[in-house]
Structure 1
Amino acid sequence: MAIPLQAEELAAIKQMIGGNVRLNLLYKISRDGCSAWTFHTKCDCKGPTITVIYNSKDTVYGGYTSQNWLGAGREHSAYDEKAFLFQVRYNGTSVQKKYPIKADKLANAISCCHNIGPTFGKGDPEFPSFSGVLKPSNGVFVFKGTKANSVYNVTDIASFTNDSLEVQDLEVYKVDEGLVETTVHPWRKTPTWNITYLQNLKREIDVYAPLEVTGVEQVNVLLFGQCGAGKSSFFNSINSIFKGVITSQAPSGSTDKSLTNRFRKYQVRRGRNGSPLSFRLCDTKGLEKNEGLHPDEFSFVLDGHMPDKYLFNASSLFGPESPGYVAMPSIRDKIHIVVIVIDATIVDVYPDEMTVKLKSMQGKVNQRGIPQIVLLTKIDKYCKALQGDVSKIFSAPEIGELVDKVAELTGLPRANIVPIKNYECEMELREDIDILALLALRQILNFADDYLTNFLDD
């Protein structure tokens, strides 16, 4: 018996199609019989569909087409530039592999005929499929297929199917095309995301400089929040963008205890050995239920008394007698903006004791007139439709609703709540992640300028 699609596998398929889509089951051979006639009766002229095949080696693969299946007339192929093959499970382990159609084979995306089942590519057939009526043998249906596929970017069909054409089940789902492209108005509007937009954002931040009259050469951005929320990961993400490679300079990870044991004012440099940009991302201990950053130490950080690279001591709090204490901090030493980092996946169950601590810290920030922004991290884990592509984040209504909740939790305007995805498991930079992070950083620097302007006015 085939093991149904797991949540992460279903999310992967939806993401490959285009995000937050709805799938409606049309045909299932274990329920409806393995019959080409039945397949066409149930699936013809239904618009975009996804075909999912489960084989006896606990491997799940299939194909997507945006075109109609048509069983009438002679065997023919259909043109489809959006078609692709996929594999989401191999030997019982979830995977995410997408095989797009070759640019010179768009006219042969699918094969249609009244006596063959769903077939991707044109051939004998080139995709594991069936013809006529198949009866199960020992609980499996033995499909036909060749060793190679010249239409899609699959070099070895045997590897694609895990070298098994014994099929336990096949399902065809109608893709609700109304949800392939978002039908809601974006809750936050931005220009079209492309490489030009990314380069413009990066250039804006590259040339940014604080107000010269203040004498501040680098804006101090303080990151703080619950342990494991992604403070250090945000620095690593920004650092990666400007270095051009994935970096992990700041210690990061998911834990109940803070991995940060020093107060650090991290520089972000242009390239590997380039000059520093005009801001510093300040990392400190995370908030914990019983320990973590103490409110008194937090005040010393805000006021610029704590020196860079100060090592926190669990047995004694930082104070005027501590090594490196800055007795008379200037505007250059002070924090110019506070960034609260919150894990999107725990907003609905944010601990009461952490809320109390957060509000206490915010009170100290408000007393000093320092602006605040919330970085809402791990949005791809909160909204599965964003896994693999966060470019549609501002059209995802569940993220807009989450921003409302965080605004209420922190008492900040919605414009101050900025969702992001940090680099976590990736080994290469991605345009969508870069754009989202740079949008957040630009907003942070704009708000820091507001603080410096107010400082001048005072």
Structure 2
Amino acid sequence: MAEIQRCYKSVLSKWLGGRKEFTLLYQATRDGCSASVFHQKCNGKGPTVTLLYNTAGYVFGGYTSIAWTATTITCVCGYAASYPPDTTKWTCSYCGAKGNESYLSTTSQYSNDPAAFIFRLTDKKSFKPKFYRVKQAGNAVIQNSLNGPCFGSDLQPFTKTVTKTDNYFQGNGSINVGTHYNMAGDDNTVFCGNNVQYTDIEVYQVTESEGKHFASASADGAWRKTGQVNCQMLQSYIERFTPPEGSKVKAVNMLLLGAVGAGKSSFFNSINSVFQGEITGLARSGSADRSLTTTYRRYRVKSNVTGDTLKIRFCDTRGLECDGGLDLVDLIAVVEGHIPDRLQFNPTAPINSDCTGYNSSPSPDDKIHCIAFVIDGTTVDVFPEKILHAIKSLQQRINTKGIPQVIILTKADKVCMEVQENVGDMFNSATIGDLVEQAGHLFGLPRSCVFPVKNYEDEVEVDKLVHMPLLLCLKQVLRFADDYLQDSISSD
């Protein structure tokens, strides 16, 4: 059964005024894009949220606090029948007409709902939530047995039955925003890209949450306690860190590994920004279907306070992809230190000893000392199986080597509206606490190895509230790497 994505749940709950639960009632890809099935599954179920996904990457929909209901449908002969019949097999008991929805008609009935609103959650796959209040409450919802969920005359996705073609349902209703809902100047293009090709349509029942969430929050509400530590203390610790004597390591090598678009290059840029005191963009980052990182890079960070270079290298690779990207052979070669800085990856062939610059005899200083799985926090609920399998395969190989692993959850601010408004609430958000627990379970790592962060994306100036989660993550990585190196020394 599909679950509403955590970031959608968070913002919808905020708009609805409290922690809510969302139970899937209807899904077009599962149940068929059929008005009769929609009504059979959703009528009388109380408040609902409808989500529509289109081929342009928009997620949008509507909320109503009242239940969907049936209206009387009528055969063309004038005979009225109680709903619901099966409109594809219905036979009129009066004239015998059957088997075609064109024989049926119905009268729309408007329902009053001052609490109704329509909304957009994503814009071209980018999470940009915005909601629009009803301005004519008496026309908030249209009840029509031959239509799917209708929000006034503004949002009417489909009528009767739509067959899926080319991986989408072609909407045969209409979108005309601004009629019964206050769009504040936004039009169809802003709302949904003016696209009615639906990859899926979902309707969720909305109920009050029973309050079951991350159970390890402290008495003051924090799920992760940071004690009396502050950014200056953390930054000073990191600046003073040196690998243990006898490890033959000049600097800790931290491998950043994640799917395309997860934010691993942005994570390095954010760390660099912290220590430079201004927003930087040394590592190439952005939005693309394929990895923007095409070479293996070992980045260093210099502190603008001490003037010294940190004793940590951030090792950036191509992003993992469901179809292409780094394979296990390449990953093992990176972990074992065979790959020199600035090696260009070949997308058609794995790395081998014949590659230019291949290091056949890596020293401890060449090898990876900690692996950070960089995960887009908004995708934990729907993490790609192929990429998860690749990560699990790598974990099986490196677990025997004892190399420490952490999870960096980027875009944590987009998972929780409270954190989006105030990054300082990162460790007080039950939603983030839930996410940390889920991510740890997904990758088989304890919660103490999972670090939610916000990368610098829109900002043009640094912010101490953004620094704190980043620095806590980096300090723990250095601690884990130090333990690993100390153990390596004792085993020699």
TM-score normalised over the length of structure 2: 0.56
One-letter identity of the residue aligned with 2:351: F
Aligned residue for 2:362, secondary structure, equals coil
Q: Paired residue for 2:226, among 187, 190, 200?
A: 190
1:194-273 → structure 2 map (5 Å cutoff): 197-271=230-304
Alignment of 1:418 with 2:454, yes or no, is: no
The residue type paired with residue 242 of structure 2 is A
SS for the counterpart of 1:403 is helix
Contact preservation (8 Å) 2:259, 2:375: yes
Given that 1:336 and 1:371 are in contact with CA atoms closer than 8 Å, whether structure 2 keeps it comes out as yes
2:85 maps to none
C-alpha distance in 1 between matches for 2:184 and 2:231: 36
- Secondary structure in 2 aligned to 1:331? coil
Partner of 1:330: 363
Deviation at 1:92, TM superposition (A): 4.9
Q: Distance in 1 between matches of 2:308 and 2:265?
A: 21
Q: Which sits farther off after the overlay, 369-378 or 359-368?
A: 359-368
Q: CA deviation at 1:438?
A: 0.3
Equivalent residue letter for 1:328? S
Q: In the TM superposition, what whole-angstrom CA distance separates every residue of 1:388-422 from its partner, at most 9, and x where no partner exists? A: 32111111111111111111110011111111111
Which residue of the other structure, out of 315, 339, 345, is the alignment partner of 2:378?
345
| Cα displacement (A) at 1:21 | 7.3
Matches within 5 A, 1:26-425: 92=186, 185-191=221-227, 197-271=230-304, 274-425=307-458
User: Residue 62 of structure 1 aligns with which residue?
Assistant: none
CA offset at residue 187 of structure 1?
1.3
Bigger Cα displacement from structure 2, 324-333 vs 310-319: 310-319
RMSD: 3.3
Secondary structure class of the residue paired with 1:282: strand
Q: In structure 2, what residue type is equivalent to 1:376?
A: L
The letter of the residue matching 1:430 is D
- The code of the aligned residue for 2:234 comes to L
Under a length normalisation based on structure 1, what TM-score does the superposition of the two structures give?
A: 0.60
In structure 1, the residue matched to 2:148 is none
1:366 deviates by 1.1
Task: Tell me, in whole angstroms, the C-alpha distance in 1 between the residues paired with 2:279 and 2:439.
Answer: 29
Contact 2:249 2:364 in 1 (8 A): yes
For residues 301 and 397 of structure 2, the distance between their equivalents in structure 1, rounded to whole angstroms, comes to 27
1:256–1:288 Cα contact (<8 Å) kept:
no
Asked whether the equivalents of residues 269 and 277 of structure 1 are also in contact (C-alpha less than 8 Å), the reply is yes
Q: Secondary structure at the match of 1:391?
A: helix
Return closer, same or farther for 1:438/1:272 CA change in 2, 3 Å cut-off. Answer: closer
> Deviation at 1:301?
0.5
Cα shift at 1:254: 2.6
Distance 2:446 2:305 in 1: 37
Change (3 A) 1:322 1:412: same
| Separation of aligned partners in 1, 2:335 and 2:248 | 18
The residue aligned with 1:439 is 472
1:307–1:326 Cα contact (<8 Å) kept: yes
Q: Are the counterparts in 1 of residues 11 and 416 from structure 2 also a CA contact under 8 Å? A: no
Aligned length, in residue pairs: 300
Query: 1:385 offset after TM fit, Å?
Result: 1.3
Aligned partner of residue 467 in structure 2, secondary structure: helix
Q: Which moved more, 1:334-343 or 1:354-363?
A: 354-363
**In the aligned structure 1, how far is the partner of 2:376 from the partner of 2:330?**
23
The structure 1 segments of at least 4 consecutive aligned residues displaced by more than 6 Å after TM superposition are: none
Q: Does 1:429 align with 2:465?
A: no
Distance 1:192-1:383 versus aligned 2 partners, 3 A rule: farther
Alpha-carbon distance in 2 for matches of 1:266, 1:258: 17
Unaligned runs of 5+ in 1: 1-6, 23-29, 32-53, 57-88, 94-181
5+ residue gaps in structure 2? Answer: 1-6, 20-112, 115-132, 136-182, 188-217
Counterpart amino acid of 1:209?
Answer: T
Q: Identify which range, 225-234 or 182-191, moves more after superposition.
A: 182-191
Q: Aligned partners of 1:447, 1:340: CA distance in 2, in Å?
A: 14
